């Protein structure tokens, strides 16, 4: 029977890196956030709904989803952000379900930023949180996205607090050190994860 494992983490935590490491270990990974970017461009019905919610400016002159415009539009509007998520999530969920059907492996991983916020963990058999100290996350995002400390802190302040997510997660991977340490920590959690299902079935 297939087991769905959610992977999440706040901005700058390194969740995508952990997902890539898990994939290197031979497990299939569904990258929800990246695939959502494709779905908003390729799903005609979804496009119409997003335009109705945010206006035609949500897509640029070439018809591509304008992420910068949308981010600015919903950043201080929680209600509008929730409405946008309620449009995109079902489309991604449908795509994920198709992906699961095509997989032959037992353990399938789903990487998504809003695992707990959208209660997606309730449809998972286990969940993994990737986390790091705030100052480290801020530095990473500043270097990656050329943002100021204040801009990154504002994003973090709008995300679910790390301690709340840690309390909900089955496993937590701390990413305060280098890549080698992160790889080892991920490998250890994978072993613990598999063992947890073995214990469940024994």
Residue 57 CA to residue 53 CA, distance in Å, equals 11
| C-alpha to C-alpha distance for 86 and 145, rounded to whole angstroms | 27
Kind of pairing between the strands at 126-131 and 107-111 = unpaired
Which of these, 35, 6, 12, 11, lies nearest to 129 by C-alpha position? 6
For residue 12, say whether it is annotated as part of any ligand binding site.
Answer: yes
Does 178 belong to an annotated binding site? no
Nearest to 17 by CA among 7, 2, 27: 7
Task: Check whether 16 is labelled as a binding-site residue.
Answer: yes
Q: How far is CA 60 from each of CA 23, 70, 83, 125, 153, rounded to the nearest angstrom?
A: 34, 11, 21, 39, 28
194 to 95, 98, 125: CA distances (angstroms): 26, 24, 12
Annotated binding residue at 6?
no
Annotated binding site: 12-17
Specify binding-site residues for ATP: 12-17
């Amino acid at each position: 029977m297939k087991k769905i494992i959610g992977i999440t983490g706040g901005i700058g935590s390194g969740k995508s890196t952990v997902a890539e490491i898990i994939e290197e270990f031979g497990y299939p990974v569904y990258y929800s956030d990246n695939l959502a970017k494709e779905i908003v461009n390729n799903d005609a019905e979804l496009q119409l709904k997003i335009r109705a919610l945010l206006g035609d400016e949500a897509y640029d002159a070439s018809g591509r989803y304008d992420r910068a415009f949308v981010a600015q539009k919903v950043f201080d509007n929680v209600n509008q952000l929730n409405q946008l998520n309620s449009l995109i999530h079902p489309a991604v969920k449908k795509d994920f379900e198709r992906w699961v059907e095509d997989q032959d492996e037992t353990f399938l991983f789903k990487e998504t930023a809003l695992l707990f916020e959208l209660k997606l963990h309730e449809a998972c058999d286990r969940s993994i949180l990737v986390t790091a100290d705030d100052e480290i996350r801020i530095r990473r995002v500043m270097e990656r996205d050329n943002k100021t400390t204040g801009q990154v802190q504002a994003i973090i302040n709008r995300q679910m607090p790390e301690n709340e997510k840690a309390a909900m997660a089955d496993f937590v991977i701390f990413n305060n050190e280098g890549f080698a340490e992160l790889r080892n920590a991920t490998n250890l959690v994978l072993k613990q994860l598999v063992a947890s299902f073995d214990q469940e079935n024994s």
